[in-house]
Amino acid sequence: MDLFLKVQEFLEKGYKSKAMNELASFLANNLNARKVLIFLYEPMRELFRLVGASSDEYENHIGKHKIPLQKIESSEGEIELKDLGFDSEEKGKILPLKFGEENLGFILAVDPHIQNSTDVLEKVGGALRFLAKYRYLEESVHKYQLMSRFTTLFEHTRDLGELYTRVLEVAVDVLEAESAMIWEREGEEYVLRSYKNLEEDIILRRKVEADHTFFSKFKEGTVLILNPDISLGLNDLIDLKLKSILVSSYRANDEIKGLFVVINKKERKGYRPFKKFDDFDVSLLAEITRRFSLALSRLEYYERLKEEVEKLEELRKRHEKLIEVQRDQLMKMETVYNVSQAMRSSYSLTNVYKILLLGLIANRGFNFDRALLLLRDTKRQVLIGKLWVGPQDEKEAESFMEKMRQRSLKYGDIVQYFREEAMTFDASSGLTPKIEGKIFHYKGHPILERAVLRKRIVYVNSRIIESFGENLRDILDILETDEFIVMPLVGRWDTLGVVIMDNRFTKRSISDSDLEILKLLSESAGLAIENIMNYEELREKTISLERQKDLIDYLRRFSESILQNLDAVVIVLDGGGKILEWNKKAELVFGYPRERMIGSRLENLGAEFENILAVALKVFETKETISMANYMFTMEREEKYFDIRFSPLWNPSGTHIDGVIITFEDVTDRYKMEQERKRQEKLSALGEMAARVAHEIRNPISVIGGFIKRMKKHIDEPETLTRYVEIVLNELERLERIVSEILEFSREAKKLEYTEFNINDLVREVYTLFEDPISKKNIKFQFDTGRENITVFADRIRIKQVLINLIQNAIDATPKNGNIRIKTEDMFERVRVSVWNSGSSIPKHIQDKIFQPFFTTKIQGTGLGLSICKKIVEDEHNGSIWVESDEEGTSFIFEIPKKGV
Amino acid sequence: MGKRILIVEDEPNMRLLIREELEEEGYDVEEASNGEEALEKFKEAEYDLVTIDIEMPGMNGLELAGRIREMKKDAKIILLTAYSHYKGDLSSWAADAYIIKSMDFQELKDTVNKLLSK
């Protein structure tokens, strides 16, 4: 018999195999004994267990019969079977099974006849010991192999949920456990996060308070509990018979996150003296949770990082979008101006129409796909198709747009491009034939009526089309698109027609800001068309007159007609201020009839005209043309702006002046557009400001902080402290100045408070503020007054601010022993103040930038001083400010109207 | 005799502050209020280290650092600035260290000490 094979069979198959019985029979034979029983020692429990017998009568005891260790130690050699718990009167001899000093069990031999059995017993012991050890090692290797699955798992799992599921799978495999679960701490509770091999109906709770018995027992580390009882509290959570459990804490990012609970060792094949988790399992689980914790930390960190990156990306996109929108708006605003400009510079009505439509579809214009012009016939109350530009269909779209783009690139001046493109562009073919002469009734039409009669820009989309349905059929059949804009062309009195734009091919969406900007175009284009219509009407008249060949009459009427039909107000005054001429436009604009005005006096019309008269009288003195820009009239509570020109009217021989011709050009649109542009510029300047402010205030703050730290160090030295306090105060003042300049620049224009005051008094008052620094630098200060009393009507505080800034700059720029000279001059309707200093000259390229916000050459200061001056003088007081510089020195000069705006 | 440091900084109070902080560390400190003055001083005397403010009127700190490097290849240079966004370009400059101005001058002192291996 091969002892080894028998022992191996037993270890692998357990009690089921009869290998141990066969071994017992073999030994009985060998020892010549009546019976042999084999007991093996279980060190964990300190007992011996019956594993095999040579006789069938013990069949029911095998694997079950146990004998405590003390029993065998105390009885040497012979022992009664009764004493070992068997129902027998026999005696047996105990033959220990050993390997070296290690106790492996014993053999109980009844009536042995061979005394010297050492040899065979050593063989059995050796086989048991060697094979058990071999098996243990083999299993350990297998477990370590399973553990290596972790490494792969942790390296490749990017998903948190998957990590939990997989770690449980591996743990159950490696530890040969029945089941496992993970409880995670969430606030004041523990939550069953994940589990493996647990039936739904045995899970009693999935959430418990953190101070629950079970969780309050475990803080940190890995423990093995061999005989869990009710006091453990685990049976509150799962309804399962517990034999042995392993509990281990795990962490994420340095915090204990929860508990890993592994339940019951699985039933395994073969002979197992110990059926629960052991110390080796404890160290395995400790290793599993350690790696799990690492993976969790890494994943959580990774998740957070991903979130941060996404957030940043989102922010960046939003920011870029904003800038894009703003840039687009500014560009379109400029387009309004360019298109209007081009329209005004043409004298052919057809060309003006073409310029308008091209402006709407050009990529350097509004970039719509198509634009359709319908002109209004007031008598018949219809709109008539006139021109339609754009690609005819999808196929043509790309090449059409590309061709337009190529042509526009040849021009630097966009106005020039619109004009020349209009002349060469053939608008009679293509889309135009589809609509030419086609009639649309606007009365009662849901969209056209709103555009024509209420002068509104109408944006139409699929929702609006749905609600109006069939009533829109006439337009929809032609346009074949469900998103478009109808823009009225608004003239001085009435709507002249409408333009319909769409993006049928490119499907670009139309924004609210587009509509806002189109409002501007709607009016300025209408006015431009009306101007040309007047002009054409005039030309037609001229032609019929020419036919009469009544040249003198024609000329007289022609000039009269020009005068009367001119788009500008024309007023002629004689030397005494009496009105000689008052044209039709003047009637319209000021609302006084010609018959009543001729022969009457201008100043009777109110304060605004008093100024006009004063300037006109000045022309008799200077004999030169005088211009005034953006002069404001308030008419019916609406502000209108005019460019006014005063020209001398010479007598026929050119020897003296008979009168003054005053022309008023309505520039309200232009003026408003300029204001809007200024506002936009300021907005972008404000954006830049945030960054600059951060930098400007950082330096003083560093200095203040640094010295305050030093103060702490030198608290016992009064002299040093005083010096430091001086410096800190100094820097605080500087901080305050920076902050107040920024506030000053960024504040919205507030209502100005106009008072009457003498500008010379104000200059003297400001001078006293600077007496100290001026004398410190030994600067020679000179003040020349034009007239002693120059009264101006302006916001005194704001003008004082201008003087302070200019004089401060002059002092900064003047070297020691230098000169500063201030001069005031009465310029009739304006007052001029110049502040000159003998500092070095300012190069031309810097002069151009000097009034821009944040431009500075100085060491200190925000670079806002001069831009604040410009704002006060030009924006608030309708004046002007500029710089003149040569080798001698530099002057900053400003002029404001004496009588306010 | 202590090691010699030249401070180039246009704002007097900031200059004074850096001077006092470095003198306390036991260095001999000289000052220049702009790039031109700094170059003059650098020609006349030997310095173990130069701290330069980047934002100065006239010749700026970066240009000055380059000029000093031309004159003396192994000059130790520290650049100071109130802007924090320069940091990325540091490698392209001729400086040994780059420090953002703050209330805490410890970083400056540490860097100086390290560069002069005190």
Say what the alpha-carbon torsion angle A20, A26, A32, A37 is, to the nearest 10 degrees.
0
Tokens of A321: 């979008």
- The minimum CA-CA distance between B36 and chain A, rounded to whole Å, is 15
Contacts of A702 in chain B (CB under 8 A): 14, 82, 101-103
- Residue A854's pLDDT band (boundaries 50, 70, 90)? low
Query: Hunting for tokens 């299993």 — which residue is that?
Result: A139
The average confidence (pLDDT) of chain B is 84
- Verify whether the Cβ–Cβ distance B103 to A709 is below 8 Å: yes
Residue pLDDT, tens place only, A349-380 = 888 899 999 989 988 888 899 999 999 998 88
- Verify whether the Cβ–Cβ distance B102 to A705 is below 8 Å: yes
> What is the complex's ipTM, to 2 decimals?
0.86
Answer whether A888's CB lies under 8 Å from A876's CB.
no
The percentage of residues in chain B with a pLDDT greater than 70, rounded to a whole number, is 88
- Verify whether the Cβ–Cβ distance A710 to B17 is below 8 Å: yes
Give the pLDDT mean for A853-881: 78
Give the pLDDT mean for A91-109: 85
Q: Can you give the pLDDT at residue A420?
A: 85
Q: Can you give the pLDDT at residue A857?
A: 61
- Residue A802's pLDDT band (boundaries 50, 70, 90)? very high
Q: Can you give the pLDDT at residue A423?
A: 84
CA distance A207 to A759: 82
Q: Can you give the pLDDT at residue A28?
A: 87
Instruction: Work out the number of other CB atoms within 10 angstroms of the CB of residue A655.
Output: 7
Task: Report whether pLDDT(A192) > 90.
Answer: yes
Residues in chain A: 901
Q: Can you give the pLDDT at residue A694?
A: 67
Residue pLDDT, tens place only, A127-166 = 888 888 888 888 888 888 877 777 777 777 778 888 898 8
Q: Say which of B21, B57, B104 has its CB closest to residue A859.
A: B57
- The minimum CA-CA distance between B15 and chain A, rounded to whole Å, is 9
Q: Can you give the pLDDT at residue A690?
A: 62
Task: Report whether pLDDT(A546) > 70.
Answer: no
CA distance A70 to A80: 15
- Residue A531's pLDDT band (boundaries 50, 70, 90)? confident
The average confidence (pLDDT) of chain A is 84
- Verify whether the Cβ–Cβ distance A702 to B103 is below 8 Å: yes
Tokens of A9: 């069979």
- Verify whether the Cβ–Cβ distance A699 to B82 is below 8 Å: yes
- The minimum CA-CA distance between A686 and chain B, rounded to whole Å, is 19
CA distance A290 to A272: 29
Answer whether A573's CB lies under 8 Å from A580's CB.
yes
Residue pLDDT, tens place only, B38-65 = 999 988 888 999 999 887 877 888 888 8
Residue pLDDT, tens place only, A715-759 = 888 888 899 998 898 888 888 887 777 777 666 556 778 899 999
The residues pairing with A106 across neighbouring beta strands, listed in sequence order, are A39, A96
Answer whether B61's CB lies under 8 Å from B45's CB.
no
Q: Can you give the pLDDT at residue A258?
A: 92
CA distance A120 to A33: 14
Q: Can you give the pLDDT at residue A649?
A: 85
Size of interface A-B (CB pairs under 8 A): 46
Q: Say which of B10, B14, B83 has its CB closest to residue A703.
A: B14
Task: Report whether pLDDT(A555) > 60.
Answer: no
Q: Which residue has the higher pLDDT, A485 or A271?
A: A485
DSSP character string of A38-86: EEEEETTTTEEEEEEESSGGGGGGTTT-EEEHHHHHHS-SEEEGGGGT-
Task: Report whether pLDDT(B91) > 70.
Answer: no
Task: Report whether pLDDT(B86) > 70.
Answer: no
- HSE, side-chain direction, 13 A CA sphere, residue B37: 14
Cβ-based interface (< 8 Å): residues of B facing A: 10-11, 13-14, 16-17, 20-21, 56-57, 82-83, 101-105
The percentage of residues in chain A with a pLDDT greater than 90, rounded to a whole number, is 19
Rounded to the nearest 10 degrees, what angle do helices A759-769 and A796-813 cross at?
Answer: 50
Give the pLDDT mean for A776-784: 91
- Verify whether the Cβ–Cβ distance B57 to A730 is below 8 Å: no
Q: Can you give the pLDDT at residue A545?
A: 57
Cα B47 to Cα B7, B37, B39, B74, distances in angstroms: 10, 14, 12, 11
Q: Can you give the pLDDT at residue A834?
A: 94
Q: Can you give the pLDDT at residue A177?
A: 92
- Verify whether the Cβ–Cβ distance A859 to B101 is below 8 Å: no
Q: Can you give the pLDDT at residue A556?
A: 64
Query: Any long-range contacts for A597-604 (C-beta under 8 Å, 24+ apart)?
Result: A601/A577, A602/A571, A602/A573, A602/A577, A603/A577
- Residue A72's pLDDT band (boundaries 50, 70, 90)? confident
- Verify whether the Cβ–Cβ distance B103 to A710 is below 8 Å: no
Give the pLDDT mean for A535-539: 76
Contacts of A860 in chain B (CB under 8 A): 11
Tokens of A778: 């030994």
Lowest mean pLDDT among A29-43, A481-495, A849-863: A849-863
Contacts of B103 in chain A (CB under 8 A): 701-702, 704-706, 708-709
- Residue B15's pLDDT band (boundaries 50, 70, 90)? very high
In B, minimum Cα distance to A729 occurs at: B13
Task: Report whether pLDDT(A26) > 60.
Answer: yes
Q: What is the DSSP letter of A831?
A: E
- Verify whether the Cβ–Cβ distance A701 to B13 is below 8 Å: no
Q: Which residue has the higher pLDDT, A608 or A519?
A: A519
Q: Can you give the pLDDT at residue A606?
A: 77
The percentage of residues in chain A with a pLDDT greater than 70, rounded to a whole number, is 93
Q: Can you give the pLDDT at residue A637?
A: 75
